[in-house]
Amino acid sequence: FCIGVVFKGLTYLAVALIIYMVYQVLYKPWRFRQRYKGYANVHVSPKFIPVLGDISFFIQDIKQNRVFYDHLKDLQVEMTKKNTDLKAETIGIDPVIGIVSHKALKEVLDQSPKKIDRADIDNTDFLKRALLKMAYGCYLNSPSTSRTMKRRKATNKVFGVNRISKHVPLILQNAQRILKQMKKQGNVEIKPTIALCLNRILMNILLGNDFETKIDATHQYLCNDGTTKQLDICNFFARFTCDMTDEAGNLLTILFPILNVTNIVNPWRRNHQNGVTIRKVMKRIIAKSEDKDSFWSQISQLNEFSEEEILSDLILILTAASETSSNSLTAILYYLKKFPEVKEKLMKELEKINIVPGCDFENAITADNLQECDYLANVVREALRIDPPVSHSLWYQVYEDTQICGVPIDKGTILRQEVVGPNNDPNDWLDPHVFEPDRHNPDSEFYKKSQQAGKIANAYSKRTFGHGARACPGALLASLELKVFTAFFLTQMEYEVAKEDLENDHIGFGIGSLFSPKLTVS
């Protein structure tokens, strides 16, 4: 009798699971696509592919030795011709509305945060799935309550232009340190090398300049193969970020979000344990740090936020800033080799303020000197435009039934701002696939040529750092880091990039990219 009851129960459970899978994996994405096919200003891919959805295009790019988001540039050309405002797509099994046109983005911002705000669903987005373990409760991942916006305002104040400029010596110190290592190795995989260096810089800024002296030298990391390694906190965090990115993109995580919440089996359990270790170590650091100028110290002195809130925001900044900036610096070094005339022009500008090979870089590379380097600033802007570190924004959620560009959007719908496509929109940018820093200089011939061709970019044409009240709070610090590292590396080392990488016009280095070029450094 008992066996019969158990068997019947398992049968019901299996049937329920099958019904759930059919609805979640097949019907829901299919129905979403069908609904928006009738709108002329909404792009829907011509073919429905179960389970993968529009991720299939990413896979095609990878198979063709292109960065996974390269097809978005070609798609933007098609959508521009058709005056597309929105894109209805399925990311795996998740239905999402992409914000394409300037008009659509403006309407979304006008309705934020009352009708449209950060998605309050922890398992919907690739990035949010990763943040769930890394920085749960961070303000970037939370709806715009008064408390959330207070935390954001406090963070922006700490990272204001007058405060971040003092970090130039710290950035230079670590750039010199990493350059010695790169020269010693000779052949360097640049992205992880730079990410580790940026981790160290950010931990100094966020936790205190004495962070390495306040904890044990190494900590036990649980590896994917079941072994353990003793890693210092910078390497620990860099490794954890990579493992969390892999977990967030795991098909089982997408299909069964409960695995990411319960943490009962690996890799979810293992990553959860590593995340707990990080928070414990950071709590020990901030409890012992004597640096009153650190991010932690400045925010905690306000006496407005809990320790857990500040820690979550701190981990968020550390995660986002190191990965995105390392990708962008990789792009800059790559494009300066691919377009030698740009490198030559930049070297001449740096020479005017005595930033030259063999110079006393600590006195030459200062915040004031960098402020005079307009072309350097435009090189950074162009790298962030042509190959943004993220292909789309974090996800937003519709909290009331609404319309965007005449298209009805139901409560509960997930939205995201498209980044790669608009950044390379031929309607706004002349020769968008060419690395041309002068497109950002109103006095340049290229800018005037763009105007004559009717290519006038506006604020909504540049989406790398986002828009509105939820724009990236670390934009100023990221830009400063990129300027310092670019000026330093360009004048203190010679490097070469593999010929096959330079000849690949479909390469890219944003988060999730499989391209990680090696530099031959001397």
Structural domain spans, the chain: 2-515
E strands in 36-170: 42-44, 86-91, 94-99, 116-118
Return binding residues: 472
What pLDDT is stored for residue 495 in this prediction?
A: 95
Residue with tokens 């049937």: 15
Instruction: Name every residue whose Cβ is closer than 8 Å to that of residue 7 and which is 6 or more positions away in sequence.
Output: none
Q: How is residue 26 annotated by DSSP?
A: I
- pTM, two decimals, is 0.91
CB contact at 8 A, 44 and 37: yes
Total residues found in the chain within this entry:
522
Q: How is residue 467 annotated by DSSP?
A: -
What pLDDT is stored for residue 263 in this prediction?
A: 82
Residue 510 CB neighbour total at 10 angstroms = 23
Residue with tokens 């490794």: 239
Low-confidence ranges of the chain (pLDDT < 70): 1, 5, 120-135, 161-162, 249, 251, 254-255, 257
Question: Angle 89-95-96 (CA atoms, 0-180°, nearest 5)?
Answer: 65
Q: 24 is written with which tokens?
A: 């979640």
CATH class of the domain comprising 2-515: mainly alpha
Alpha carbon distance 495, 179 (integer Å): 11
What pLDDT is stored for residue 220 in this prediction?
A: 95
Beta bridge partners of 97: 88, 415
What pLDDT is stored for residue 130 in this prediction?
A: 55
CB contact at 8 A, 473 and 155: yes
What pLDDT is stored for residue 132 in this prediction?
A: 57
CB contact at 8 A, 458 and 321: no
Return binding residues for heme: 472
Alpha carbon distance 196, 441 (integer Å): 33
- Residue 519 has φ and ψ, to the nearest 5°, of -105, 140
